[in-house]
Structures are given as structure tokens and as C-alpha cells.
Amino acid sequence: MMAEFSIVPLGKGASVSAVIARVMKVIIDSGIRYKANPMGTVLEGDWALVMGVIKRCHDEAMKDADRVVTAIKIDDYQGRECRLDAKLESVEQKLGQKLNK
């Protein structure tokens, strides 16, 4: 499965990059396949692993905030693995050109 999630710690001012850097460290240390983007992060793995990493990320953000909003979008495609790159490659092939990544 893949899950895209974003974490927003509230009450910490306009810049949250220090908190997000710590959240990204949780992801990196987990060893899970991921792709970060400006609006969130996509994780790929089995359900328990993905959801466990998201929970640890949420808990990390809660260390600095009284309130944290975590949004999760799940793509669970049974029998398919390693789609983190393949999904965009399929679109590029049909488009006939590379996408900005």
C-alpha cells in the first residue's frame, strides 16, 4: 500500500520546518520507502509498517505542539508493490515526456 500524509503542528508560528525535519528523521530511520514533496510525504509498505511510521511521526510532532493535524490518503492496491516510482513512470510513458519531480 501507499499512503500520502501531511502533518501540521498548530500554534507554532508560520514556519514548521524544524518540526518537519524531526518528522522526516523518523521516516528515514524507519527504513521505509518514501518520497517527500512540498506538501507531504508518500510512504510505501505493508499496512502495519506504514501506519506505524505515520503514528510515530504524529507523536514526534506532538512533542512541540498542543495540537497536530495529520491528514492521510491511502492507495491500497492488492498484489502490487514498488509503485512509488512506477505510477509516475506509467504516466510519463503515456504522455511521451518526463514530468518534473
pLDDT of residue 99: 75
In-domain check, residue 88: yes
pLDDT of residue 101: 67
**Residue 8 corresponds to which amino acid?**
V
In-domain check, residue 101: no
pLDDT of residue 14: 78
pLDDT of residue 87: 73
Domains in the chain, number: 1
Q: Which domain holds residue 58?
A: 2-95
Which residue, 66, 59, 54, 57, is CA-closest to 12?
66
Residue 32: what are its φ and ψ, rounded to 5°? -70, 150
Q: Is 70 helix (H, G, I), strand (E, B) or coil?
A: strand
pLDDT of residue 25: 97
Strand order through the sheet with 33-37: 33-37, 40-44, 2-10, 67-75
In-domain check, residue 53: yes
Per-residue pLDDT 10s for the chain (101 aa) are 999 999 999 987 778 899 999 999 999 999 999 999 999 999 999 999 999 999 999 999 999 888 999 999 999 888 767 677 777 788 888 888 887 76
Which residue, 68, 84, 94, is CA-closest to 8?
68
